[in-house]
A and B are shown apart, each in its own frame.
Chain A
């Protein structure tokens, strides 16, 4: 037995997230956790395990695989699923391209193409609550997001018609065809996430820590070679010491030059960084002042 101690910020954030998981388990018929193997969704799975222990997590996982993911991340994803006895559904963007429901974009990036397979999967599996690892500190449009965010039957977010969120009473009511996106990490910051990963000893894909890699510079970001195309003839490949601050579609997720090889060094680096996570490494958010808002309106996370 441990004596009661004063709750720290991380204790409070953990308790809030666990409360949110249990509310969804109590109110919805078919919840699912979006899981990509990235640090935020890995944290979600860790919190879900804690929320229902000693019973198994009562939800499956869903990964929308752009086909442009890092091998290390896919391997990590499968390890987590096997280790905890979880169920994983994979929606492959390639399948949607192959049968003509989606078309490859001229710029080769597949990140925006995730929305259709995501919404199709939600519809076909009749998921009514979809957990995402989104945090409100990531971006201005995300700062407006509710913890329980109702989406219409097209999966769209309508910022002017959000439900007020009062106390910790979450309203999960929805009509047939509608679903609710749930963000248990809403009140976490990037630094909270890293501090919690440190405290809990949560394993992550190795590419979050510094390593040597062949990369080329495109639009100010260090990209790695992969099926998404590149380097182009005019782009020079350099061997650098880098790490990833976010992991996502390889076509638009850049690496940062970093010597941070363990979690303490990563925390020190994040604390000192003068760039936001998304600004530093995500090309898709640079498209316009309202890029994230526009994608959320379409049904993206």
Chain B
């Protein structure tokens, strides 16, 4: 059985993302004949002599009308080695929020650049968003390499520039792979190209098939948001009281000592139950039901954690927000925060800094945060939350900001994540080394039990 890689695409509009995704699907024979017939027909209707592979993925009427991708779409393909879930995200500046959406679950991102243009501002912005969201691995696909006559020096120059940028964002060299491709012609996407004899690395697909999957941090500390309490109250299971949830990080074994937050109650794991029978151990990514040794009052929204290394429990914290709504954020805004399975009222007490996309630098004390802007804020919640820093746990360090009035999702929240990782990423950056460092979780004020 092959394993699963979740990946996202990113890149500027017209860099050929949809064509690349279409090419991946086409060359892995993931496109079936009737779908292909429809693309041939639609391409011919548009007066094209070869099939436009982007039509395989741009599914909405308005996308086909405008020839652009508007909304994130999910694609599925598989080879003998692996299954893939691909979040295909639009490149328009106004749709950066979809890059955030795709990046939140991705284990790898393919960032496209046009070989003629090289690393542009949008490339740097997307790489910064991918780094901020903690996407572990990047592929820089230098697309349209045919349009620069398969020039090795052009590829080397772009690779060098991007490496410097990715390193500044915190990526180690082995986490970033550069591949010269032509999505339109298929060079180095699935098949090795004879046009790039100077390139000895893997094709894009070979890399995707073999890259290590850092799905869930098994070594990380155990975190388990309680989703639902299972109490059958049937004759057979009269006293059954199980806490159902998905292991967010780490592993748990029968006999482990745990703490239930925010109350701080301690117990041990008596049983790990599933429909298919009990388990001795459960790991990140598994949906299970925990039974504890003591009869505690635990409900949806509580977090069961490793007793030795609990998260901090606090009602005041600093976070980075990716603002995803047309309604701007102003200091003092009342919102809802959904963290794990708990939703609480909250106030954004202060806007500390805003990442300036134009200058790739941060601005102190902005008056507001608008659509697609990234900022550092202080938040106060109505009830204490058990919080990890985002970079120590991508699951329990993340939260949603929700509009209390209409229920819309306003922002992606990253606990303790800092803007400084975005600062100084480019030599043209001005200002901004004033924010605290990325690894500094000092804002979590009250320690956990």
Task: Give the contacting residue for A4; candidates B4, B35, B283; CB below 8 A.
Answer: B283
CB distance from B247 to the nearest CB of A (A): 9
| In the complex, chain B residues whose CB is within 8 Å of the CB of A159 | 60, 70-71
**Interface segment, A101-109, A135-143, A229-237?**
A135-143
Q: Which residues of B contact A12 (CB under 8 A)?
A: 4, 285
Contact B71 A160 (CB under 8 A): yes
Q: How far is the CB of B394 from chain A (nearest CB, A)?
A: 7
Q: Mark B41-78, 1 if CB is under 8 A from A, else 0.
A: 01000000000000011111110100000111111101
- The reply to whether A144 and B227 form a contact with Cβ atoms under 8 Å apart is no
Of B159-167, B305-313, B395-403, the stretch lying at the interface with chain A is B395-403
Let me know if B279 and A273 touch, CB within 8 A: no
Q: How far is the CA of A280 from the CA of B35 in the complex (A)?
A: 10
Contact B60–A166 (Cβ < 8 Å)? no
B76, A137: Cβ atoms closer than 8 Å? yes
Instruction: Check: A189 CB closer than 8 A to any chain B CB.
Output: yes
Give the top 5 A-B pairs by smallest Cβ distance, nearest first. Answer: A140-B59, A173-B407, A279-B34, A18-B287, A55-B232
A278 to B251, CA, bound (A): 41
User: B74 to A166, Cβ gap below 8 A?
Assistant: no
A4-B279, A136-B76 are contacts. A276–B35 as well, Cβ < 8 Å?
yes
Q: A224-262 vs B: 1/0 string, CB under 8 Å?
A: 000000000000000000000000000000000000000
Q: Are A22 and B245 in contact (CB under 8 A)?
A: yes
| Stretch in A36-44, A46-54, A210-218 with 4+ CB within 8 Å of B | A46-54
Other A-B contacts than A50-B276, A166-B100, A191-B78, 14 sampled, CB-CB below 8 A, are A1-B254, A9-B3, A14-B287, A19-B245, A25-B228, A26-B227, A26-B341, A56-B232, A140-B60, A166-B104, A168-B395, A171-B407, A173-B407, A273-B32
In the assembled complex, how far is the CB of residue A275 from the closest CB belonging to chain B, in whole angstroms?
5
Question: How many residues of B are in contact with the other chain, CB < 8 A?
Answer: 80
Bound-state CA distance A157–B97 (Å) is 19
Binding site for B on A (CB under 8 A): 1-4, 6-16, 18-19, 22-23, 25-26, 49-56, 136-137, 139-141, 143-144, 150, 159-160, 162-169, 171, 173-175, 186-187, 189, 191-192, 273-276, 279-280, 289-290, 293
Please measure, in the bound complex, the distance between the C-alpha atom of A186 and the C-alpha atom of B59, giving whole angstroms: 16
B200 on the A face (CB < 8 A): no
Do the beta carbons of A289 and B228 come within 8 Å of each other?
Answer: no
Nearest CB of chain A from residue B238's CB, rounded to whole Å: 11
Residues of B close to A51: CB separation below 8 A: 244, 287
Contact A144 B395, beta carbon cutoff 8 Å: no
Within the complex, which residue of A8, A167, A186, A192 is in contact with B395, where a contact is CB–CB below 8 Å? A167
Closest to B279 in A: A2
CB distance from A45 to the nearest CB of B (A): 13
